[in-house]
Structure 1
């Protein structure tokens, strides 16, 4: 579900993992007159940042406790946001509510990240909650269409962008990653479990080792959600760190799908890209 109308009289529950995004979403809701309640995941959510919001702590797998807390706060609408390292099943803190849905939870774990998150979302929806996405709760955090920087992609970069989108579309059924690096028509890296930062660090290392011989300021990082992905969960994210990684990888720029990519600290990201001579462009969905 996307483009869902939020009820301003009820708080929105934010299941908050790592990074700054849960707090950016909370601030966006507050600015629109909607109260957020954060359900902070132990071991992932920042305890300092979360302290300024109404919040509760939960552990991964505590479905029963989470459901009781959601209901006690009258949170019908829920959103998952933030970075989270997929836990091993042995690390999940089981409670009675988890045991009740253990078969469905096990089925959710037997796939990629999108399969896992959408599976957990379906479990909660069967308990009467409504899973919503960033488009519903914080549309101002999504990348707009068009070039955001002083530098724009040239013909070579446009061809690399097209190749990158084709690659990501082809990989979508395997639920692997949401990013690829293409340089002069060659696919030199695809995102895996190490994430986008790791992908860019790998490209930088391969350049340093001489295994990528293309000139500096060539190539594009392309990010896009998987085809058929539930857009309420695990959208691609970029920010100043992405720009820093792309600069170290000596790329020409970054291309992301507009409306389906979250941007962290947009002004800082654009300033960093301009300073590094990179382009950042939002692609048509």
Structure 2
């Protein structure tokens, strides 16, 4: 599911978590003449990088404060972007606006990350805002189709890519993870709460421990949105750190869904892939 909005209104409210992606989105908006206003999540958003933009700090659970700020800044369109550790309900700082919506919030927590983000998005939409996705506001930071580094997948890697896509399609309805590592047709590891970086580090440890016997330079990381996912929220993302993890795990490369995967620091990522000799493949949706 994606936003059907034909036009984006300015300014856009960027609900900013951790990592470089909120700032990449804000830069992309500015290049298109759309003003971004960042609503930086305490404990997640980079306090130095956010200073480049108009911004406000909010804590997880301050829905009432957030909604007042959205309105005061004239932000009709909102986007969630960036990493955020899933908080426990007991860790949320409740304000009156949150308490008045506690039933909807508790319902949103009863599921995986996609269920949670979609549930919070619906709360904002009920208050008159419009949730939009990366494809609406910053399509230039999405991975294109095809090979985007010098290395290319060989037939064995292509077969592993297809195997990985099959596995992720099967897991999608369970709202578990967005990535899998396949080596010579064997599913070696599936993404869990540690995320993709943790997945790749786990594969590297398995290789060091002798649990993976395949030679280095074989196998792939495959990332894809979940089959039932609302594509406005939590799209898969890759960047230089992902390439570093792929190389350390001894894999041949990574394959992601073109148009549905965010490229953080794309030029640095491609340079890192060329240096490591691993491929980056954008797959048709």
CA positional deviation for 1:134: 0.3
Q: Give the TM-score taking structure 1 as reference length.
A: 0.98
Do the aligned residues in 1 keep the contact of 2:3 with 2:131 (CA within 8 Å)? Answer: no
State the secondary structure of the residue aligned to 1:254: strand
Match of 2:234 in 1: 234
Q: Give the TM-score taking structure 2 as reference length.
A: 0.98
State the secondary structure of the residue aligned to 2:18: coil
Match of 2:42 in 1: 42
CA positional deviation for 1:6: 3.2
Do the aligned residues in 1 keep the contact of 2:178 with 2:223 (CA within 8 Å)? Answer: yes
Which stretches in structure 2 are left out of the alignment for 5+ residues? none
Pair 1:124-2:132 in alignment: no
Match of 1:63 in 2: 63
Equivalent-residue separation in structure 1 for 2:94 and 2:111 (angstroms): 20
Match of 1:174 in 2: 174
Equivalent-residue separation in structure 2 for 1:167 and 1:159 (angstroms): 13
- Residue by residue over 1:165-210, the C-alpha shift from the partner in whole angstroms, topping out at 9 and shown as x without a partner, is 0000111111110000000000000000000000000000100110
Do the aligned residues in 2 keep the contact of 1:114 with 1:229 (CA within 8 Å)? Answer: yes
Match of 2:22 in 1: 22
Equivalent-residue separation in structure 1 for 2:227 and 2:18 (angstroms): 25
CA positional deviation for 1:3: 5.1
Match of 1:79 in 2: 79
Do the aligned residues in 2 keep the contact of 1:20 with 1:82 (CA within 8 Å)? Answer: yes
Equivalent-residue separation in structure 1 for 2:78 and 2:93 (angstroms): 21
Equivalent-residue separation in structure 2 for 1:3 and 1:155 (angstroms): 38
Equivalent-residue separation in structure 2 for 1:77 and 1:36 (angstroms): 10
Equivalent-residue separation in structure 2 for 1:259 and 1:248 (angstroms): 27
Match of 1:225 in 2: 225
Equivalent-residue separation in structure 2 for 1:262 and 1:5 (angstroms): 21
Equivalent-residue separation in structure 1 for 2:200 and 2:43 (angstroms): 26
Do the aligned residues in 2 keep the contact of 1:3 with 1:135 (CA within 8 Å)? Answer: no
CA positional deviation for 1:7: 3.9
Q: Identify if the C-alpha distance between structure 1 residues 7 and 219 changes in structure 2 by more than 3 Å, giving closer, same or farther.
A: closer
Equivalent-residue separation in structure 2 for 1:5 and 1:17 (angstroms): 26
CA positional deviation for 1:4: 2.3
Equivalent-residue separation in structure 1 for 2:8 and 2:259 (angstroms): 22
CA positional deviation for 1:100: 1.0
Q: Give 4+ residue runs of structure 1 displaced > 2 Å after superposition.
A: 1-8
Pair 1:5-2:6 in alignment: yes
CA positional deviation for 1:149: 1.2
